[in-house]
């Protein structure tokens, strides 16, 4: 049975999501940032086997712990959206521009896009390319669970004024891809509270039926 555990760091409040199979103990961590001690304690307490780190987009506040996991977990795979490869290659510049501590250099094992197939042992993950917040922004669908990164928030959307961002792109990504999903799909965003597709189709401030912008 698949379960999802949410971890929120004090700095940047970027949601970390640990997805795991409670029977096989296979685990995957989405957007590993600044919750290393809490996440690893949970992994040990529940006897989980962390197999992969998966990034929704390459912004410094969503990947601060990657090198720490790579240094302390054997055979862990790091997966990053191909469209954000330029952001990855210029990550230190990004940190400097925002005046934040530089992220430790980490290696990427696989750059993926919507044509890629993603299986972590028994866990099948559907890749949905959703440019807008960044060119490579990606959502991940596992059954009725959507890890939406900074593309879709509860009644909001991600900002589009950062490098490679585009309002038109995020509009198309949300309306033509995410809003085409089943209304019961649960939305787990990169910041803030959870939602579901049905709620967002009605109440999202930008693209819902009751939009105010």
Tell me, yes or no, whether 209 lies in a domain.
no
pLDDT digits (tens, 9 = 90+) for 39-49: 999 999 999 99
CA distances from 128 to 44, 57, 140, 160, 201 (A): 31, 12, 6, 18, 18
Share above pLDDT 90 across residues of the chain, in percent, rounded to a whole number: 98
**Buried-state track 83-119, b at ≥16 Cβ within 10 A, e below 16:** bbeebbeebeebbeeeeeeebeebebeeebeeeeebe
| Number of domains, the chain | 1
Domain of residue 165: give its range: 2-203
CATH number of the domain residue 108 falls in: 3.60.15.10
For 55-95, the pLDDT digits (tens) are: 999 999 999 999 999 999 999 999 999 999 999 999 999 99
Mean residue pLDDT of the chain comes to 97
Q: How high is the pLDDT of residue 173?
A: 98
Give residue 155's pLDDT.
Answer: 98
φ, ψ for residue 85, nearest 5 deg: -60, -40
Choose between 140 and 97: higher pLDDT: 140
**Residue-level pLDDT at 137:** 98
């Amino acid at each position: 049975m698949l379960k999802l555990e949410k971890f929120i760091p004090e700095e940047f409040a970027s949601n970390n999501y640990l997805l795991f199979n409670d029977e096989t103990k296979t685990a995957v961590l989405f957007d590993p940032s600044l919750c290393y001690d809490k996440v690893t304690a949970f992994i040990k307490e529940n006897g989980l086997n962390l197999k992969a780190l998966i990034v929704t987009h390459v912004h410094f506040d969503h990947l601060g712990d990657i090198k720490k996991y790579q240094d302390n977990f054997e055979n862990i795979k790091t997966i990053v959206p191909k469209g954000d490869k330029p952001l990855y290659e210029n990550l230190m510049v990004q940190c400097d521009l925002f005046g934040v501590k530089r992220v430790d250099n980490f290696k990427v094992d696989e750059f993926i896009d919507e044509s890629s197939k993603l299986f972590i042992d028994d866990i099948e993950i559907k890749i949905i390319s959703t440019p807008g917040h960044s060119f490579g922004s990606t959502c991940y669908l596992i059954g009725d669970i959507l890890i939406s990164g900074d593309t879709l928030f509860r009644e909001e959307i991600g900002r589009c004024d950062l490098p490679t961002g585009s309002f038109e792109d995020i509009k198309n990504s949300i309306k033509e891809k995410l809003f085409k999903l089943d209304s019961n799909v649960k939305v787990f965003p990169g910041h803030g509270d959870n939602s579901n597709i049905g709620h967002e189709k009605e109440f999202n401030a930008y693209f819902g039926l009751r939009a105010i912008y």
